[in-house]
């Protein structure tokens, strides 16, 4: 099986020997497992024809910030397994909480029944959330958390006698999930364009994309004027709008666009001024990603709805939650004959095992000072990212907390992106794997979302290797395309 079975390919002193229990028979049959995978599995966001020559990697185990394949090679989980892992893989306390709950109660329907884990988790989330959010509605994932908020907002206006408010407003680079409602309030890109005939119409305001300012201004002198584009729509259409939905501070799938807290604060003010709800989609941004428990805290706003998932269980199990204000909740509270109830739910709503994992993750935040440690080490991360400005193909460097993004361009002076067919992101991704990094791109955006458990020497390794990978890329130059998602 080669020396990588016993020693990891690079940095042996740091990584050490692969545990003996890892060396099992599956490592000898990796090609057979991949063949079986491609025979039966259809992977997400993947052109399966590509897998013929570039098959998926068979992962056997994970610890901390690292994943290990069937040959013992490690990869730094530099995107936190799609932005979900917080405390590191297989955190012993979270694994113990899962095992304990599984031995007592695996699942029970959440209509007419309840359980301690859901009660304690809802209480804890409410205690941590921005002021005014008082109730938790559980679901399965980020898309369902968003769908819940959209339907609640829509029905709220019906329940309170306003049947004109049936529309939503969002940002044109926003992305809120893959279900029909969530796609409808997202920007149109590679992920959802084909489904356009299925979607309901929504108003879309230009995004606060500072590197590609919709008003052609620069950040140091703009005065957040782009918020005026949002107000222009609200001024004319607010009578028909139920809610504004946006991702606070970081627009993730749209290109890891990091925008000023002042925009978020003023958007929240506009939602109050024009009498619409504010839905913050914190699915990707909550639980320490931006240096605060919730990204909304950067602007000190009080939304009507907050959507959570991904890091809620530290990426260990699926779970979604939609937090709402008392004002929203009370609009559904009444006699049965009034038909105000929220007739919405999922089979695995508030699954006890998932709730136990989430509750323990929140305890780990407190007991291990996770945010404090992450904020201290983020200075090293940010300093390392600044090095990339020297590379000719790096047009923009964006960073907050332990999130970093590099916008790759073929003409820095004109901010011109690489062409779709050129697949510059995939080239970087393939080179990254050779260097033990997962640099899965969003079109021409190379990003890092590191687990909050990442250590100083790991950040140094990740930054150094990522720099070497991008510096080595010498792509051909072809036509350009909007950089939304590969």
**Residue 430 lies inside a defined structural domain of this protein:** yes
Same-domain status, 347 and 425: no
Same-domain status, 303 and 171: yes
Domain boundary among 338, 367, 396: 367
From residue 312, give the alpha-carbon distance in Å to each of 85, 122, 297. Answer: 9, 12, 17
Distance CA 278, CA 454 (A): 33
pLDDT score at 484:
41
**Spatial CB neighbours of 351, under 8 Å, sequence gap ≥ 6:** 107, 317, 319
Residue count (the chain): 486
**Residue 477 lies inside a defined structural domain of this protein:** no
Distance CA 29, CA 61 (A): 16
Structure token digits, residue 42: 């259809």
Same-domain status, 75 and 128: no
Which H/E stretch holds residue 169? strand 167-171
**Residue 418 lies inside a defined structural domain of this protein:** yes
Same-domain status, 457 and 345: no
**Residue 241 lies inside a defined structural domain of this protein:** yes
Which residues form the catalytic set?
45, 175, 281, 310
pLDDT, tens digit (0-9, with 9 covering 90-100), for 63-114: 999 999 999 999 999 999 999 999 999 999 999 999 999 999 999 999 999 9
Residues 337, 160 contacting (CB under 8 angstroms): no
Same-domain status, 167 and 23: no
Q: How many other β-carbons are positioned within 10 Å of the β-carbon of residue 131? A: 10
Structure token digits, residue 281: 């989609």
pLDDT score at 475:
56
Residues 211, 415 contacting (CB under 8 angstroms): yes
Helix (H, G, I), strand (E, B) or coil at 351: coil
| Centroid of chain to Cα 370 | 19
**Residue 485 lies inside a defined structural domain of this protein:** no
**Residue 482 lies inside a defined structural domain of this protein:** no
Residue 39, CB-side half-sphere exposure with 13 Å CA sphere:
6
**Residue 484 lies inside a defined structural domain of this protein:** no
Same-domain status, 233 and 98: yes
Domain boundary among 319, 338, 367: 367
Domain boundary among 302, 335, 367: 367
Same-domain status, 204 and 240: yes
Same-domain status, 348 and 264: yes
Structure token digits, residue 255: 């290109």
From residue 401, give the alpha-carbon distance in Å to each of 62, 248, 258, 325, 397. Answer: 23, 14, 11, 28, 13
Strand partners, 321: 138, 308
Distance CA 381, CA 3 (A): 32
Give the chain's residues under pLDDT 70.
Answer: 1-28, 475-486
Alpha helix stretches (DSSP H) within 21-65: 30-40
Q: How many other β-carbons are positioned within 10 Å of the β-carbon of residue 9? A: 16
Same-domain status, 242 and 279: yes
Total domain count, the chain: 2
pLDDT, tens digit (0-9, with 9 covering 90-100), for 32-75: 999 999 999 999 999 999 999 999 999 999 999 999 999 999 99
Distance CA 52, CA 46 (A): 12
**Spatial CB neighbours of 74, under 8 Å, sequence gap ≥ 6:** 8, 9, 15, 66, 67, 68, 436
Task: Assign residue 188 the CATH number of its domain.
Answer: 3.40.640.10
Same-domain status, 356 and 437: no
Same-domain status, 52 and 82: yes
Strand partners, 7: 17
Same-domain status, 340 and 217: yes
Q: Which domain holds residue 217?
A: 94-367
**Residue 64 lies inside a defined structural domain of this protein:** yes
């Amino acid at each position: 099986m080669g020396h990588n079975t016993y020693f990891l390919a690079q940095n042996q002193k740091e990584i050490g020997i692969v545990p003996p229990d890892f060396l099992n028979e599956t490592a000898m049959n990796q090609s057979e497992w991949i063949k079986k995978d491609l025979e039966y599995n259809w992977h997400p966001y993947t052109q399966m024809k590509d897998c013929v020559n570039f098959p998926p990697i068979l992962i056997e185990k994970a610890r901390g910030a690292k994943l290990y394949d069937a040959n013992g090679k490690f990869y730094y989980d530099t995107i936190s397994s799609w932005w979900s892992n917080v405390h590191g893989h297989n955190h012993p306390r979270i694994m113990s909480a899962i095992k304990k709950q599984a031995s007592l109660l695996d699942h029970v329907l959440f209509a007419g029944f309840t359980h301690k884990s859901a009660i304690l988790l809802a209480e804890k989330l409410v205690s941590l959330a921005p002021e005014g959010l008082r109730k938790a509605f559980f679901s399965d994932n980020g898309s369902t958390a968003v769908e819940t908020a959209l339907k609640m907002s829509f029905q709220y206006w019906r329940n309170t006698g306003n049947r004109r408010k049936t529309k939503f407003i969002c940002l044109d680079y926003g992305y809120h999930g893959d279900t029909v409602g969530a796609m409808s309030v997202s920007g149109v890109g590679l992920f959802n364009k084909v489904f356009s005939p299925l979607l309901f119409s929504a108003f879309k305001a230009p995004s606060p994309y500072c590197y590609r300012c919709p008003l052609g201004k620069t950040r140091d002198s703009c005065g957040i004027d782009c918020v005026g584009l949002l107000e222009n729509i609200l001024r004319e259409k607010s009578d028909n709008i139920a809610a504004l939905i946006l991702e606070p501070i970081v627009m993730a799938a749209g290109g890891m666009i990091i925008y000023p807290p002042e925009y978020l604060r003023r958007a929240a003010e506009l939602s109050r001024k024009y009498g619409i709800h504010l839905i913050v989609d914190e699915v990707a941004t909550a639980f320490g990603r931006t240096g605060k428990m919730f990204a909304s805290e950067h602007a000190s706003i009080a939304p009507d709805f907050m959507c959570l998932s991904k890091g809620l269980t530290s990426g260990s199990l699926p779970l979604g939650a939609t937090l709402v204000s008392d004002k929203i909740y009370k609009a559904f509270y009444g006699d049965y004959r009034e038909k105000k109830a929220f007739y919405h739910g999922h089979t695995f709503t508030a699954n006890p095992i998932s709730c136990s994992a989430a509750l323990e993750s929140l305890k780990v935040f407190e007991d291990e000072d996770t945010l404090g440690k992450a904020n201290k080490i983020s200075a090293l991360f940010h300093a390392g990212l600044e090095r990339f400005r020297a590379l000719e193909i790096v047009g923009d460097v964006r960073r907050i907390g332990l999130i970093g993004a590099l916008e790759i361009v073929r003409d820095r002076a004109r901010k011109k992106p690489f062409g779709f067919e050129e697949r510059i992101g995939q080239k970087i991704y393939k080179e990254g794997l050779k260097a033990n990094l997962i640099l899965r791109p969003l079109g021409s955006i190379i990003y890092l979302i590191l687990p909050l458990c990442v250590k100083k020497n790991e950040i140094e390794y990740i930054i150094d290797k990522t720099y070497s990978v991008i510096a080595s890329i010498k792509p051909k130059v072809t036509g350009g395309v909007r950089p939304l998602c590969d």
